[in-house]
Amino acid sequence: MTAVVRLVLLAHASTEAQRAVRFPTDEPLSRRGRRELERVVAPVADRIVAAPERRAVETAAALGTTAGVDPVLRDPALRDPALRDLDYGAWAGRAMDEVPAESLQQWLTDPHAAPHGGESIAELSERVAGWLAGLAPGRVVAVTHPAVIRAATVHALGAPPAGFWRIDVRPLAQVRLHGRGGRWSLRLG
């Protein structure tokens, strides 16, 4: 029998870029994000991994402390570059209304487009699918970004790339996936 991966994808806590509707940079959690973490119960895990950006590492460290797992801040090996946020290229740090409307529309409708010079949704999805395929069995909590969680969910469901933009991922949202033999299912509840 093939071993099971029980994966909880957890979005990082709030940042100022989210509040201001800006494309993110490598920023810390906001005061609001730190308050949000006070109310979170860490999912049960054999291991916690995080995206390398500061906002994900800070979220994972807080969860690791409450879950009894060594905080990710002290162990760089638990930071997985495959979980990094989408590369927004020239748009990083800019407010959404500062981006040319035509370029934004192209990016939102064509998963292969990268008018910002960074990573396309298709490239992100390929990276995330590769990460999912390489996960070792066990209970894993991955603290990452809304874009990564969208890509993983679309992949798990076998949905078309257009489904990416139909998934809303709020700060500290949790998506549970179970994987066995390369097949994934979404766990609700």
The pLDDT of residue 65: 56
pLDDT number for residue 149 = 98
Tokens representing residue 95 in the block = 């407010």
Residue 15 has pLDDT above 60, yes or no: yes
% of the chain at pLDDT higher than 90 = 80
Least reliable range by pLDDT among 36-40, 76-80, 134-138: 76-80
Q: What is the pLDDT of residues 138-155, one digit of tens each?
A: 999 999 999 999 999 999
Residue 140's domain comprises 5-187
Q: Provide the pLDDT for residue 5.
A: 96
Q: What is the pLDDT of residue 61?
A: 86
pLDDT 10s digits, 75-116:
665 789 999 999 999 999 999 999 999 999 999 999 999 999
Q: What is the pLDDT of residue 79?
A: 86
pLDDT at 22 over 90: yes
CA distance 68 to 111: 39
Amino acid at 76: P
Q: What is the DSSP string of 74-101?
A: G-GGGB-GGGPPP--GGGTT-BGGGS-H
Q: Does the pLDDT at position 73 exceed 80?
A: no
- Taking CA atoms, 173 is separated from 8, 9, 103, 142, 167, in Å, by 10, 8, 29, 12, 11
Torsion sign, CA atoms 79, 125, 121, 7: negative
Tell me, what CATH number does 102's domain have? 3.40.50.1240
Give me the number of domains the chain comprises. Answer: 1
Q: Which of 61, 68, 63, 5 is nearest to 28 (CA)?
A: 61
Between CA 127 and CA 89, with CA 48 as vertex, the angle to 5 degrees is: 35
What pLDDT, on the 0 to 100 scale, is given for residue 75? 62
**Is the pTM for the entire model greater than 0.75?**
yes
